Amino acid sequence: MTRNILKAAAVLIFVIAYAVAVTGQSSEEATASDPAYVGSKKCKICHKGDKNGNIWETWEAGVHAKAMESLIEKGDDKNPECLSCHTTGYGKGGYDPEADVEKPLDLAHVGCEACHGPGSDYKSKKVMEDREAALAAGMIVPDAATCITCHNENSPTFKGFDFEEYWGRIAHKLPGDEPVETESGE
């Protein structure tokens, strides 16, 4: 009797140890290969305020930071037909309508990472200060092609897209940089 219980316990311990080893390993592999979405608030720490060009403030006051509100107004905030363009990284390991609904500024809306790429590997100070390293870690310097992934005819409200004009309405830059170049030549 006692022998059987001991044997059952041994088997159970083995199974648990095996499960822990296997899950531990696979999650480690996932972080090593795919950069993860960290949420816009992680970028805020370094990209807010006058001396950093008010990039956070510009985004927060802009249209992209309200993209989820537009869906909520229509009762479509869980509609997969809408989430890919009105959130950050939906269907790519980013926004999850079940998990992130309580953290509206993190991955809801068109956040920093919707244009600059998932930030887990480039957001550290050391990598950020080294442009080549940041690019190698997945940071994207967006251009018109980035915008057109959402600004296209699959948008039910699409009314055309002009990069110079549209960028002008959401433009942000680091202090001390040359003004972001546009064809209208400001």
What residues make contact with ligand HEC under the rule CB under 6 A? 38, 40, 42-43, 45-47, 55-56, 59, 63-64, 66-67, 70-71, 74, 76, 79, 81-82, 84-86, 110, 112-116, 119, 123, 125, 128-129, 131, 134, 139, 141-142, 146-147, 149-152, 154-159, 166-167, 169-170, 172-174, 177, 180
Nearest residue relative to ligand HEC (C-beta): 119
Please, which residue, 20 or 180, has the CB nearer to ligand HEC?
Answer: 180
Contacts of 59 (CB under 8 A, 6+ apart): 40, 65, 111, 112, 170, 172
Please, which residue, 7 or 103, has the CB nearer to ligand HEC?
Answer: 103
The Cα–Cα gap between 186 and 12 comes to 70
Question: String of b and e for 17-30 (b: at least 16 CB within 10 Å)?
Answer: eeeeeeeeeeeeee
Q: In the bound complex, what is the minimum distance in angstroms from residue 89's beta carbon to ligand HEC? A: 9
Please, which residue, 28 or 129, has the CB nearer to ligand HEC?
Answer: 129
The Cα–Cα gap between 161 and 173 comes to 21
Helix (H, G, I), strand (E, B) or coil at 25: helix
Please, which residue, 24 or 168, has the CB nearer to ligand HEC?
Answer: 168
CA–centroid distance for 54 within its chain: 19
Q: In the bound complex, what is the minimum distance in angstroms from residue 164's beta carbon to ligand HEC? A: 9
- The closest alpha carbon to 121, from 3, 33, 56, belongs to 33
Q: In the bound complex, what is the minimum distance in angstroms from residue 91's beta carbon to ligand HEC? A: 11
Contact 119, 38 (CB under 8 A): yes
Q: In the bound complex, what is the minimum distance in angstroms from residue 66's beta carbon to ligand HEC? A: 5
Contact 167, 148 (CB under 8 A): no
Please, which residue, 28 or 132, has the CB nearer to ligand HEC?
Answer: 132
The Cα–Cα gap between 39 and 95 comes to 9
Q: In the bound complex, what is the minimum distance in angstroms from residue 16's beta carbon to ligand HEC? A: 36
Q: In the bound complex, what is the minimum distance in angstroms from residue 121's beta carbon to ligand HEC? A: 10
